Amino acid sequence: MLSKSSISRWALVAWTLAACQPPAPAVDEERLARRVAELLADRYGEEGLCRARAASGGEEGSDGAEAPAESQEAQQREALDAMRSQMEQLAAAAQRLAPEPALPTAQLSAEQRASSSGTGEHVRVCLPLPAETPAVGPERAIVTIVAFLDPECPFCARLYPLLVRAQQAYAQDVRLAVALHPMSFHQSAPRASMALREAYAQRQSEGFFRYFSRVYSDTRDLSMTTLEGYAEELNIDAARLRDAVSDGRHRDAVAASVALAASANIQGSPTLFVNGRRVLGAVPEDVLGGVLHEEIERARRLQRSTPAARLTAALCRADASSAAPTPARPHPLPASPNGVRP
C-alpha cells in the first residue's frame, strides 16, 4: 500500500516538472485541474491501490500479523484523502505555469467518432479511421492494430519497434495503423506530429513509418533542427517540412486524430485497439503476441461464419466469445517471414 510520504514525494516531483514550464497568461483552470487529477490518479488512483493490496495480500501490522480489515480501510481512506489534497494543491500551484494547448479542438461528426459495443470485459471500440491514416499491412487484413502514439512519449518509443516487428511477424494477417495523439503536457509533441504528417504527405506510409522510427530514436530532442535533420537523412524535403510545421497546414489532421482519441475515451499513450480490443501501455512482447494470437484465431472463426461484405464490421463488434482484455495469455511472436525472430 502506498504511504502518504510516497504520494507526497511524487506530488513534489510532478509540481517541479510543472514549474519548469514557461508561464502563460490564460489557462483553463478546470481543464488543468482535470489533467493533474488524471496524472496522479493514473498512478495512485483507487483502482491501482486496490490492485496493489490484492497483490501483496494486505497490509501488515508492526508485529507481522495482518492488519484488521477496518484498519486497512481507514488507512486506504487516509491515503486517498492525502492524494486528493495533493492533487488540489498541485493544480493550484501549476495553473499559472501550464502552457496553452498547441492544437485546435476538432469537431467530429457522429460517423467520425469511435463507437463501442458489448459490456464488461468484452467491450470493443470501432474506430472510423480517416482515409489518410498511415498504415502498413494488407488492406483486408483480418486483424487491425490502431495505435494512438505520442511522438514525445518514451513509453510509446519503447513500444513502437515491437508494433512494427509484430506486424512483420503476422504480415499476411495484421495491419498496423498509427493515429497521432500528442499529449498537452508534451511541448514538442505537436511540432513533431505536424512533421510526421508532412513526412506522410511527401512519402506516404513508408516515409511516415521510417520518419517515426527516427523521431523515437531520442524523444528528448524534438527541436526543429533535429526534425529537419531526420528529414534530410530520409530524403524528405526538409525545407517543405519546416514550412509545413511553421504554417500549421497539418494542424487540423492532428487535431482530428486527438478528437478521435477523446471519443474513444483514451486517457494516455500508448493505447492500442486490436480489432477494437483495448490494450493499454507499453506491453511486453509476449503480451502483445498473446493478444494478436487470440484475435487472429477469433477472426478466422468469424471468417468461416460471416459473409465477406460484413466481416469488417463483425471483427470490431463485441460477441460472447470475445477474449477478455489484457493481460492476455502470453504467447511469443512467431518468426518474421525472413526466418528471423522479431
Q: Does residue 338 or residue 85 have the better pLDDT?
A: 85
3-state secondary structure of 305: helix
- How confident is the model over 64-84, as a mean pLDDT? 66
3-state secondary structure of 60: strand
Quickly tell me which residue has 525472430 as its cell. 341
Measured between alpha carbons, how far is 251 from 103 in angstroms, rounded to an integer?
A: 7
Measured between alpha carbons, how far is 247 from 200 in angstroms, rounded to an integer?
A: 17
Q: Are residues 174 and 282 in the same domain?
A: yes
Q: Are residues 226 and 119 in the same domain?
A: yes
The pLDDT tens digits for 90-134 are 655 554 444 444 455 566 565 555 555 444 556 788 888 888 999
E strand spans, the chain: 115-117, 124-126, 135-136, 143-149, 174-180, 271-274, 277-280
pLDDT of residue 13: 44
DSSP 8-state assignment for residue 110: G
The pLDDT tens digits for 251-306 are 999 999 999 999 888 888 999 999 999 999 999 999 999 999 999 999 999 988 88
Q: Are residues 85 and 213 in the same domain?
A: no
Q: Are residues 159 and 285 in the same domain?
A: yes
- List the beta bridge partners of residue 277: 274
Among the residue ranges 45-59, 77-91, 230-244, the one predicted with the least confidence is 45-59
Quick one: which of 103, 104, 96, 102 has its CA closest to 24? 96
pLDDT of residue 125: 86
Question: Pairing between strand 271-274 and 277-280?
Answer: antiparallel
Which of 94, 127, 157 delimits the end of a domain?
Answer: 94
The count of domains in the chain is 2
3-state secondary structure of 303: helix
On whether the CB atoms of residues 47 and 122 are closer than 8 A, the answer is no
Measured between alpha carbons, how far is 181 from 147 in angstroms, rounded to an integer?
A: 9
Return the C-alpha cell found at 57: 495480500
- How confident is the model over 133-151, as a mean pLDDT? 95
Q: Are residues 194 and 277 in the same domain?
A: yes
Q: Are residues 251 and 131 in the same domain?
A: yes
In the predicted structure, residue 39 carries a pLDDT above the cut 70 = no
Q: Are residues 79 and 144 in the same domain?
A: no
Q: Are residues 87 and 128 in the same domain?
A: no
Quickly tell me which residue has 507526497 as its cell. 8
Measured between alpha carbons, how far is 97 from 94 in angstroms, rounded to an integer?
A: 5
Range of the domain at 27: 4-94
Q: Are residues 15 and 105 in the same domain?
A: no
Return the C-alpha cell found at 17: 516538472
Measured between alpha carbons, how far is 336 from 342 in angstroms, rounded to an integer?
A: 6
Cis, bond preceding 154 (omega within 30 deg of 0): no
Among the residue ranges 6-10, 16-20, 130-134, 250-254, the one predicted with the least confidence is 16-20
Which of 68, 94, 120 delimits the end of a domain?
Answer: 94
What's the CATH number where 233 sits? 3.40.30.10
Which ranges constitute the DSSP H helices of 67-153? 69-94
3-state secondary structure of 275: coil
Q: Are residues 223 and 310 in the same domain?
A: yes
Among the residue ranges 33-42, 168-177, 179-188, 200-209, the one predicted with the least confidence is 33-42
Which of 62, 94, 126 delimits the end of a domain?
Answer: 94
Q: Are residues 71 and 128 in the same domain?
A: no
Q: Are residues 128 and 245 in the same domain?
A: yes
- List the beta bridge partners of residue 278: 273
Terminal alpha carbon distance of the chain: 38
Query: What is the percent of the chain where pLDDT is above 90?
Result: 44
- How confident is the model over 62-78, as a mean pLDDT? 63
- How confident is the model over 192-196, as a mean pLDDT? 97
- List the beta bridge partners of residue 147: 178, 272
Output phi, psi for 132, to 5 deg: -95, 45
Return the C-alpha cell found at 174: 495484421
